[in-house]
A and B are shown apart, each in its own frame.
Chain A
Amino acid sequence: SAVISQKPSRDICQRGTSLTIQCQVDSQVTMMFWYRQQPGQSLTLIATANQGSEATYESGFVIDKFPISRPNLTFSTLTVSNMSPEDSSIYLCSVSPSSTANTGELFFGEGSRLTVL
């Protein structure tokens, strides 16, 4: 398994500002992902955080709005830029410890609950 710490756990932000969310894992992991969960909705994948290279974004998400860094195998950040009330969501970091895709469990952090006023 993997223990994942996310910071901040929650924040209230003003429209137009940016917030960076951190994800720290207690062991080296192959894959790291960022998800968004809008109020009352299920989870949607934002991007795959690639170690040492640019993140891979899903349809509907762009780097200018959600820049992601992954400097090593245990740490990643997601920035929500130029926030609007529509960005109010829970943002979750997910990791796959397995070196082989789709063979093992995926683990999630506690989430960062963001409210934009």
Chain B
Amino acid sequence: KQEVTQIPAALSVPEGENLVLNCSFTDSAIYNLQWFRQDPGKGLTSLLLIQSSQREQTSGRLNASLDKSSGRSTLYIAASQPGDSATYLCAVPYKDTDKLIFGTGTRLQVFP
């Protein structure tokens, strides 16, 4: 059974720091991995999608890497800003479907 874990569970940093959020999954036979952002009480915003054949994806200050063999993905946030404060979730599809299994989330707070 696929299990997805994220560490740390919470992170509080001053503005300007570079951050690394971690996502681990127990079954390496994934088709892709997606990172989402969730603001309090809101829905999810898709940040990055990495296909299983890719090693990394970049969007602005965000860079996500994928190492299938070790069952890990990292989300790197450069030069963090207070507007980055949110919960970050990673998710992988269940087998060959579009049903997602979500990680436990990392709650990020960036203070001025």
Give A residues with C-beta under 8 Å from B: 4, 6, 31, 33, 42-45, 48, 58, 90, 92, 94, 96, 98, 101-111, 113
Taken together as a complex, chains A and B put the C-alpha atoms of A111 and B45 apart, in Å, by 11
* Chain B positions within 8 Å of A42 at CB level: 89, 102-105
Set A33, A102, A113: member contacting B96, Cβ < 8 A: A102
Beyond A102-B32, A105-B49, A108-B44, is A94–B100 a contact (Cβ under 8 Å)? yes
* Chain B positions within 8 Å of A44 at CB level: 102
The answer on a CB contact under 8 Å between A103 and B99 is: no
Residues 8 to 59 of chain B near chain A (Cβ within 8 Å): 31-32, 34, 36, 41-46, 49, 51
Q: How many A-B residue pairs have CB under 8 A?
A: 64
* Chain A positions within 8 Å of B32 at CB level: 102-103
The answer on a CB contact under 8 Å between A102 and B31 is: yes
Give B residues with C-beta under 8 Å from A: 31-32, 34, 36, 41-46, 49, 51, 89, 91, 93, 96-100, 102-105
The answer on a CB contact under 8 Å between A101 and B36 is: no
Taken together as a complex, chains A and B put the C-alpha atoms of A102 and B29 apart, in Å, by 12
| Chain A facing B: main interface SS | strand
* Chain B positions within 8 Å of A45 at CB level: 99-100
The answer on a CB contact under 8 Å between A108 and B43 is: yes
Whole-angstrom distance between the Cβ of B94 and the nearest chain A Cβ: 8
* Chain B positions within 8 Å of A96 at CB level: 98
18 residue pairs from A and B, CB less than 8 Å apart: A6-B43, A42-B103, A42-B105, A43-B44, A43-B89, A43-B102, A44-B102, A45-B99, A48-B99, A58-B99, A92-B44, A101-B97, A102-B32, A102-B93, A102-B97, A103-B32, A106-B100, A111-B41
